[in-house]
Amino acid sequence: MNDADSPHDRPLPPVPHRAADEGGDPACWLDQVCDACGRIRERPGSTVCEHCGAGAGADGEGVGTGVGTGSGPDAARPRRRDRDEEGRARNARPRDGLGRPLPYGSPGVARQPEGVPRTPAQSLAEAQRLLDGGMPFHAHEVLEDAWKAAPEAERELWRGLAQLAVGLTHAARGNTVGGTALLDRGARAIAPYADTAPYGIDIAGLLDWARELTGRLTDSGSVPAAETAPRLRRRET
C-alpha cells in the first residue's frame, strides 16, 4: 500500500472560517518578519518592531494599524480590508514569484486558492510542484491550508513544513536573518516526527537541508529558490 492509498490519507475537510483568520495572511509568518532588521516580531499586531524600533511591516503597509499610509486627504482614512469571494479577509495585492507585494493592478503570480480540501498526499505534491518552480511563498500557502485543516496531532508537522517554505522564501529574498529564524523554527517543529515520518515525509532529509541552508546563509546573500528547494517526501525506490 502506498501513501496515496492509505486510509489515513482521505481528503481533509474545507478549512472553516475562524475569527483568528482575520488580517489578510493568517499565520503566514511572512508578515511577522521585520523588513528592517529581519527578525521575527514576537508581537505581530504591533506597529513597531520590538527589536529595532522600525514602524512599517514587512509589506510596508503598516501591519496592524488599519489606516492608510502616505500623505494627503486619504492618509488617515482607514483602508478597506481586502476580502476574498467568501468574505474572508485576504490581502488582494498582486505578488511576485517570491510573494513580495506589488502595487495594485500590477501583473503578478496568482495566489493559491484558500480553503481547498486536499489529502495530505495532494498537499505535499502541490507544495513540491511550487517549490520546484521557484515559488516557495505559494508552496507555504498550500502547506498552511493543510496546517489549518489537520488534526491536532499533526498541526505542528504542517506548521513546520510551512515555516520551512517561508524560510526559503526569505533566503531567496536575501533576508538572511529572517530566513535563518524561520528555518530554525520549522526544523524544531518537524523534528519530533522523525521516527514516524508521516505520509512518507523525509523528516531527516528536511532537517539536513535546513541545517545546510542555514549554514550557507551566514556566508552569502540570496539563494536561487528553485535550485535550493528541498524534497518533501522520500523518493520511492
pLDDT in tens, 51-91: 566 664 444 333 222 223 334 444 444 445 555 455 555 56
pLDDT score recorded for residue 43? 60
For residue 167, is it within any domain? Answer: yes
Domain span at residue 61?
Answer: 19-90
Claim to verify: residue 73 and residue 136 sit in the same structural domain: no
Cβ proximity of 22 and 64 under 8 Å: no
Claim to verify: residue 48 and residue 137 sit in the same structural domain: no
Claim to verify: residue 224 and residue 126 sit in the same structural domain: yes
- Number of neighbouring beta carbons within 10 Å of residue 159: 22
pTM exceeding the 0.75 threshold for the entire prediction:
no
pLDDT (tens digit per residue) in 99-133: 888 888 777 777 777 778 899 999 999 999 999 99
For residue 99, is it within any domain? Answer: no
For residue 236, is it within any domain? Answer: no
Claim to verify: residue 133 and residue 202 sit in the same structural domain: yes
Claim to verify: residue 125 and residue 86 sit in the same structural domain: no
Q: Which of 90, 108, 130 is the last residue of a domain?
A: 90
Count of domains for the chain:
2
Q: Which three cell numbers stand for residue 108?
A: 503578478
Radius of gyration of the chain (CA): 18
For residue 105, is it within any domain? Answer: no
For residue 103, is it within any domain? Answer: no
Cβ proximity of 138 and 99 under 8 Å: yes
For residue 110, is it within any domain? Answer: no
Claim to verify: residue 86 and residue 124 sit in the same structural domain: no
Claim to verify: residue 46 and residue 137 sit in the same structural domain: no
Q: Which three cell numbers stand for residue 146?
A: 493543510
For residue 82, is it within any domain? Answer: yes
Q: What is the CATH number of the domain that holds 215?
A: 1.10.3450.10
- Number of neighbouring beta carbons within 10 Å of residue 104: 9
For residue 234, is it within any domain? Answer: no
Claim to verify: residue 222 and residue 123 sit in the same structural domain: yes
pLDDT score recorded for residue 117? 87
Claim to verify: residue 68 and residue 131 sit in the same structural domain: no
H helices, E strands: number in the chain: 6, 0
**Per-residue pLDDT at 7 exceeds 50:** no
